[in-house]
Amino acid sequence: MNSVQPIKIAILAMGGEGGGVLADWIVDLGESNGYIAQTTSVPGVAQRTGATIYYVEMYPREQAERDGGHPVLALMPLPGDVDVVLASELMEAGRAVQRGLVTPDRTTLVASTHRVYSIAEKIALGDGRADSKNLLAHAQSAARRFVRFDMAQVAEDNGSVISAVLFGALAGTGVLPFSRAQFESTIERGGVGVKASLRAFEAGFTQANAPAAADATPVAAALRPAGTPRDPEVRSLLARIAKDFPPAAQPVLVEGARRLVDYQDPDYAGLYLDRLARIQQLSGGEVQLLTETARHLALWMSYEDTVRVAELKTRASRFERVSSEVHVQQDQLLDINEYMHPRLQEICDTLPAGLGRWLASSGWPRRLVERATRKGRVVTTSSLGGFLLLYTLAGLKRWRRGSLRFQAENQRIETWLDRIAAAAALNPQLATEVAQCQRLVKGYGDTHERGLRNYETLMDAVQRAGARLAPASLRELRDAALADEGGQQLRAALERLSLHAPLKQAA
Amino acid sequence: MAERSFVEEVKKLRLGAGETFRGEGILAVTKALLESGVAYVAGYQGAPISHLMDVLADAQDILAEQGIRFENSASEATAAATLAASVNYPLRGAVTFKATVGTNVASDALANLASGGVTGGALVVVGEDYGEGSSIMQERSHAFAMKSQIWLLDPRPTLSCIVQAVKQGFELSEASHTPVMLQLRIRACHVHGEFTASDNKRPSFTIGEALDAPQRDVSRIVLPPASFVHEQEKVRERWPAAVKFIEEHALNEFFAEGADDIGIVVQGGNYNTTLRVLERLGFADVYGNSRIPLYCMNVAYPVIDSEVLRFCRGKRAVLMVEEGQPNFIEQNIAAILRNAHVDTALHGKDLLPVAGEYTTAETLKGVRAFLERYGRMQPEPVVAKPPKVIPLKPLAESVSARPPGFCTGCPERPIFTAMKLVERELGEHHVSADIGCHLFSILPPFNLGNTTMGYGLGAAGAAALNTPGAGHKRAISVMGDGGFWHNGLTSGVANAVFNRSDNLTIVVDNSYTSATGGQDILSSTAENRSRSTGHAIERAVRGVGVNWVRTMKRTYDVAGMRDALREALTTKEQGPKVLIAQSECMLNKQRREKPLARKAVAEGKRVVRERFGVDSDTCTGDHSCIRLSGCPSLSVKPNPDPLRSDPVATVLDSCVGCGLCGEVSHAAVLCPSFYKAQITTNPTRWDRLRQRVSRAVIGRLQRRAAARRERYAF
């Protein structure tokens, strides 16, 4: 019996990513160069962004004619019997490994390392992203050869699509019995977007043979070290950090101070350090408590109010960022429209505390404002009127300390610091967990209210449980609060820990 | 306009005798129909045979040249009833739809057709949506063939075999006066391969001839006493005629007969997988030369007793490879063997999975078990896995499901966003869902929808859940425009009027049957050169007596949608409420508008492109916006803020600027991080002047603010 095997190639992609084009290219490549080729797929609903597999087999026509037979080609891959797996994205590469399509004895795995996050990863209230390192490690250990790089980036750099880069990388691996010229003429025969596809092909081809770069899994931004300030006040702040705080905590404190100088002024950053000095005293050398408090205190003290948003939106650096994000070309014009929805609450918050409180509890003035703010506003920051509006709003910064919101946040921060102090007296680890609960309070409007409500529920539990609350339990509660919007998991966790109390109503 | 254009491919339909056809399975079926002298074709789209309808639509010139009538049927029932033309006249006709949902809808017509029998060849091409990627209940068309006595062909998934099955299907139908069903599994529909073409044939008898000389035979009409005669005819005349034809023309195939005293019986559709498995186990070569005898049933029904006995006699054991359940064929073979006192051991579902797709891996396991049992193979030694040096987290932890969802910019998404917002105010409601893209609402992030009972049956599915005037909540049902015209107008809306329902029905009107590939329907706004479009749903709804009807012309208006929904759910007015939510399918819209925009840019015209973005320094990483949208273009990225860890939202380049992000952040009071960028290509002189003036002032102020910050920077 004949022992020549068909070449077997599986393509894992998501609907609309051009996996079909890639499969068609491979078939055309085979058919034009002496192969009998077959491909099939399961489109259906997978076309709508779902994961899907295209499967190609090809067999040398000359061999078949010599043997006087016609090969029987399969319509789906057999685990352990695949020569090449092409994956358009990292999790899809993981899926190929999971399905047993990638085996160390024979499979060349060509995959893009970029991530297209699944819906489950995106809808998390905190961080739901899969562990890319784990995906890479599994792919590495399952494949005979693992060719990988960020093909989305390469495609973008070359003004083309990922399928062309994958095709180039496939050619680059040299696992198929076709020359580079044969690959390229396949693209030319396709006749659509040929130039860009060839550029992307070339880049993919080259990269496939380049030594694997360190895997660029998305990492969080790094803390920036302190530069040399011109302002004497700022200089003394930095000196104070260097003198009074342990070196391990200094990078976070520098970043925190930088944030608060930017947010308000050097005095405000001074207040930040005063508050941290108190924590340092009671931490008993616990650097973790200090750094975590420093991180979260900086975030809390730079709470997002209308003034802050207006300031960030009007900066020149922001205009530049938008311009590059949306790829504005030299001869094009850019308009930026902001979606804002200031409500009575935000307006009262921005006003001087007394005035804000009066308006919030007034009769017809309140109703008037409420009526006027029922709908959201679109502000065109790139237009003169829109810009001046936000610029003026940002100018209210100098009166921020007198605002209603400032007073409320200040109050909450002080209470939180007291709680940290009280917890530290019991257990510094618990205090760290209390500090980290600030993470729950984020966003604007309804989101902010929900976060604040959860935070207060947790603080209430801390208060009532006192010394019997284990740090791990508080961590569990925090994770539960971030598990769903409706608060079911949090309620369940509170019940499990016998800390259940009637949930606080919205503030 | 369908999602995929076959204008280029249909040129292959003109290939003549001896030329090599290369292309997709469904295109090959179309070519086979032309080569068979078919007089009419009809069908209803749905994966996996949507493309067959699209091919036919794009091939209308060729069909017209051949004098073939082509219908886009209103439903599968319509399609099946169309075959009535073959009852009295020697007209060859073919209809197509997806199975088993299509066969369900068509079963009334199919049963009547099968009862009276046919004169001209009648072929039902069903796309079997079974196994991986399927979106429907997992059942077999086989049952329909058996209950109505329609012959069922299940050819090997190789183009030449499929083409041959089409041609023989017509002959078999004519020889036995019985309609024939040709079953194609999803992968076979989409398989790309090759076969040698023949010349196209014009129908030997035309529809015009039939119309001009009508034939009538009361004995073909299903009414007593003829219906009782039909039943007798089926078993006394048509069945034997079919068996004779199948035997004489060797529709089923024997391979390696006598090579061994064990053998495998396989449905044609599973032949390639089984062969691959035998080849991998060392019992066959790549050309199909097997050392194990094979009986390949290209006709799945009826089972030919004589052939089964010929194959099984003298064998110790046979394995039946039959996908899906119940195992009709295995039971049938067991009865044949038993009645003939043949004691060959019969295996099937004892070694292969009782339910589920026969993937290569499952088939390998089953065939291996069979070969081991009869000593043809040694059991695999158990290999001790070497301990892993670096333990890895299980892969399953890092690979999550990727279910299908609404496309980028889909106009249906905001409808469900608005429903989520109303849910916050009024609490949860019972939602009766329907078939179509809108069914993705049952998945995250929306999680809306309690049941789905079938295409167009969204409103019908909520019929019982009605308590007019009793102070309870109202049920909501969702229906697409495709489902509405398929049957929802009568089964749902008219039914609600007649039964004095108080429920709300949302009709999602995106101008196409989008889930099946964007085909036109009655209410499509697009001009279609061969079909009549532009018939408004609202007029139909009012026509059957609904008084409370609202049409929202822009679904992206989330606040408007929310208010309309709230009103429908709280109004004191009794009777059915119908909310028609209109916006064009974004896939189709982009397909139409993108080339136009490109052309305009090339011509130097002013073009404004819109897209959204998120300011990562004001985004706090709560992802509420994603939970209210789920748009593929709205994603996350690492937080650029070194003090934060949660990823921030980001808008990918694939954004089409539909506007939902902005509407949601307004309606749900989310956050001020969203911006809409308007990029003007080929700006006018006025545009430039305006920009220059504002830039001058803005730049000056920005520099001033930056200088202030710079003072304190470090």
Per-residue pLDDT tens over the stretch B119-144: 999 999 999 999 988 889 999 999 99
pLDDT of A57 higher than 50: yes
pLDDT digits (tens, 9 = 90+) for B613-654: 999 999 989 999 999 998 999 999 999 999 998 999 999 999
Q: Is the ipTM of this complex over 0.90?
A: yes
Query: Within 10 A of B426 (CB to CB), how many other CB atoms are there?
Result: 14
pLDDT of B555 higher than 90: yes
B558-570 vs B660-667: helix crossing angle, rounded to 10: 50
Question: What is the 3 state secondary structure string of B515-546?
Answer: HHCCECCCCCCCCCCCCCCCCCHHHHHHHCCC
Q: What's the pLDDT score for residue B686?
A: 95
What are A85's strand-pairing partners?
A10, A109
**Cβ(B675)–Cβ(A326) below 8 Å:** no
pLDDT of B692 higher than 70: yes
**Cβ(B80)–Cβ(B150) below 8 Å:** no
Residue in A14, A31, A48 to test binding to B, most B beta-carbons within 10 Å: A48
Mean pLDDT of A355-376: 93
Q: What's the pLDDT score for residue B1?
A: 55
Indicate the pLDDT class of residue B205, thresholds 50, 70 and 90: very high
Q: Name the more confident of B518 and B328.
A: B328
Mean pLDDT of B183-209: 95
Residue in the structure block whose two tokens are 């009295």: B88
Q: DSSP assignment of A129-180, as one string?
A: ---HHHHHHHHHHH-SEEEEE-HHHHHHHTTS-HHHHHHHHHHHHT-SS--H
Contacts of B665 in chain A (CB under 8 A): 339, 341, 376
Indicate the pLDDT class of residue B414, thresholds 50, 70 and 90: very high
Q: Contact B399/A91, CB-based, under 8 Å?
A: yes
Residue of chain B whose Cα is closest to the Cα of A3: B285
pLDDT of A293 higher than 50: yes
Least confident of A464-468, B3-7, B592-596: B3-7
pLDDT of B88 higher than 80: yes
* Two structure tokens written together for B267: 């449905």
| CA neighbor of B58 nearest in space, from B517, B522, B455, B483 | B517
pLDDT of B391 higher than 80: no
**Cβ(B575)–Cβ(B547) below 8 Å:** yes
Q: Name the more confident of B541 and A282.
A: B541
Q: What is the CA angle A50-A51-A54, rounded to 5?
A: 125
pLDDT of A216 higher than 90: no
**CB-nearest partner of A122 from B404, B623, B680:** B623
Q: What's the pLDDT score for residue A16?
A: 74
Q: What's the pLDDT score for residue B149?
A: 98
Q: Contact A134/B670, CB-based, under 8 Å?
A: no
A19-31 vs A180-190: helix crossing angle, rounded to 10: 120
| CA neighbor of A101 nearest in space, from B359, B27, B24, B622 | B359
Mean pLDDT of B516-543: 92
pLDDT digits (tens, 9 = 90+) for A392-413: 999 999 999 999 999 999 999 9
Distance from CA of A223 to the nearest CA of B (A): 5
Average of per-residue pLDDT values in chain B: 94
pLDDT of A505 higher than 50: no
Q: Contact A24/B133, CB-based, under 8 Å?
A: no
Q: Contact B187/A40, CB-based, under 8 Å?
A: yes
Indicate the pLDDT class of residue A415, thresholds 50, 70 and 90: very high
pLDDT digits (tens, 9 = 90+) for B163-185: 999 999 999 999 999 999 999 99
Mean pLDDT of B391-397: 87
- Measured in whole angstroms, the distance separating CA B600 from the mean position of its chain's CA atoms is 36
pLDDT of A215 higher than 60: no
Q: What's the pLDDT score for residue A214?
A: 60
Indicate the pLDDT class of residue A15, thresholds 50, 70 and 90: confident
pLDDT digits (tens, 9 = 90+) for B281-291: 999 999 999 99
DSSP state of B224: T
**Cβ(A85)–Cβ(A10) below 8 Å:** yes
pLDDT of B389 higher than 90: no
Indicate the pLDDT class of residue A220, thresholds 50, 70 and 90: low
Indicate the pLDDT class of residue B561, thresholds 50, 70 and 90: very high
Q: What's the pLDDT score for residue A45?
A: 52
Distance from CA of B297 to the nearest CA of A (A): 16
Residue in A260, A339, A452 to test binding to B, most B beta-carbons within 10 Å: A339
Q: Contact B398/A141, CB-based, under 8 Å?
A: no
**CB-nearest partner of B404 from A48, A335, A376:** A48
Q: Contact B135/A45, CB-based, under 8 Å?
A: yes
Q: What's the pLDDT score for residue A507?
A: 39
Contacts of A223 in chain B (CB under 8 A): 642
Q: Contact B287/A387, CB-based, under 8 Å?
A: no
Q: What's the pLDDT score for residue A47?
A: 55
Can you list the domains of chain B with their CATH numbers?
A: 9-248 (3.40.50.970), 253-373 (3.40.50.920), 413-588 (3.40.50.970), 603-701 (3.30.70)
Contacts of A394 in chain B (CB under 8 A): 705
Residue in the structure block whose two tokens are 């004489």: B248
Phi and psi torsions of B88, nearest 5°: -95, -20
Q: Rounded to 5, what percent of chain A is helix, strand, coil?
A: 60, 10, 30
pLDDT digits (tens, 9 = 90+) for B252-262: 999 999 999 99
pLDDT digits (tens, 9 = 90+) for B649-663: 999 999 999 999 999
Contacts of A93 in chain B (CB under 8 A): none
Indicate the pLDDT class of residue A501, thresholds 50, 70 and 90: low
Q: What's the pLDDT score for residue B392?
A: 82
pLDDT digits (tens, 9 = 90+) for B454-501: 999 999 999 999 987 778 999 999 999 999 999 999 999 999 999 999
Q: What's the pLDDT score for residue A212?
A: 67
Q: Contact A124/B714, CB-based, under 8 Å?
A: no
Distance from CA of A167 to the nearest CA of B (A): 19
pLDDT digits (tens, 9 = 90+) for B427-437: 999 999 999 99
Rounded Cα–Cα distance for residues B151 and A351 (Å):
81
Query: Which stretches does DSSP call E strand in B242-359?
Result: 253-255, 262-267, 294-297, 299-301, 317-321, 345-347
Indicate the pLDDT class of residue A217, thresholds 50, 70 and 90: low
Mean pLDDT of A240-253: 95
Indicate the pLDDT class of residue A37, thresholds 50, 70 and 90: very high
